[in-house]
Amino acid sequence: MAPMCKDCISGFFKDDTPTGRETKIHGLNTYVAEPPSGSPKGIIVIVPDAFGWRFVNNRVLADNYARKGEFLVYLPDFMADTAVDPSIMLLLDNFYKSGWWANFMKIFYAIQASFHFFPFIFHTRDSVTNPVVDKFFTNLRSASTTEHLAIGAAGFCWGGEKVVKLCYADRVTASGKNLIDVGYVAHPSKLSIPNDILPIRRPISAALGTRDFQVPVPKIEEIRTILEKKSELKHEVVVYEGAKHGFAVRGDPGSEKGQEQMVEAEDQAVAWFSKWF
């Protein structure tokens, strides 16, 4: 299992303006993006990266899923308002600059970054957040207003591991209903491979980059091999050449290839969920 790395909390901001709304769903503050038609094909729940439900990139992603796929998209606050402040990305930019002044300031940038990052690690540990995630999906599956809709989960970085495990056979309600019908993950973090991949029993799609410290190329091939051996399991593994951790959410707007891969990963998710809904 790779620890969370600098790529988990670095990247770029989107310039887009989110068009959804905030509300409370099953006890959690939630950003909601609704399909243009008003008639959703299904529900997508985004389990986000370390920047959480308020991060503009995550909200714009929810909007795009809703618009492109005619989905009802929920982006809940699974972190109880302890997500990493996105301003840490600017701190990291300064930290990695060169020159005598930049070198002198590194210790101050590092201290500032630690005030952002370490509280997140403590407050979002599995023993705290796993019950929150399970309860939300259990309530969503059981609610009379949504029980008739298919449920998909899209996980990124921190949320990627959560979605992988939501695809296990034992993640069900008290009445035996699957918490989700289908999963999608992009650049998941903290995975123990092969142990976290072997129990997968729900359809799953993965978007993985060849320059991702969290899931390096040998581990990508191991994931692919494990899933291919499950002849009854519908799955896909799409590899993005040269893509780093975070590419599907926080891609470089100055990189044409980076922007293309971010859109391709978005379209991969929409096509995957559309196949099942």
DSSP per-residue string spanning 84-103: PPTTHHHHHHHHT--SHHHH
Mean pLDDT of 60-83: 97
Q: What is the pLDDT of residues 212-264, one digit of tens each?
A: 989 999 999 999 999 999 989 999 999 999 999 999 998 887 889 989 999 99
Q: Counting beta carbons within 10 angstroms of the beta carbon of residue 116, is it exposed (0 to 12), middle (13 to 18) or buried (19 or more)?
A: middle
- In this predicted structure, the answer to whether residue 107 has a pLDDT above a threshold of 70 is no
Structure tokens given for 3: 């620890």
- In this predicted structure, the answer to whether residue 102 has a pLDDT above a threshold of 60 is no
Task: Determine if the peptide bond prior to 203 is cis (ω within 30°).
Answer: no
Contact 13, 57 (CB under 8 A): yes
Tokens 């952002």, residue located: 116
What pLDDT band is residue 10 in, cutting at 50, 70 and 90? low
Contact 218, 238 (CB under 8 A): no
Q: What is the pLDDT of residues 184-219, one digit of tens each?
A: 999 999 999 999 999 999 999 999 999 998 999 999
Give the lowest-confidence range in 96-100, 231-235, 266-270.
96-100
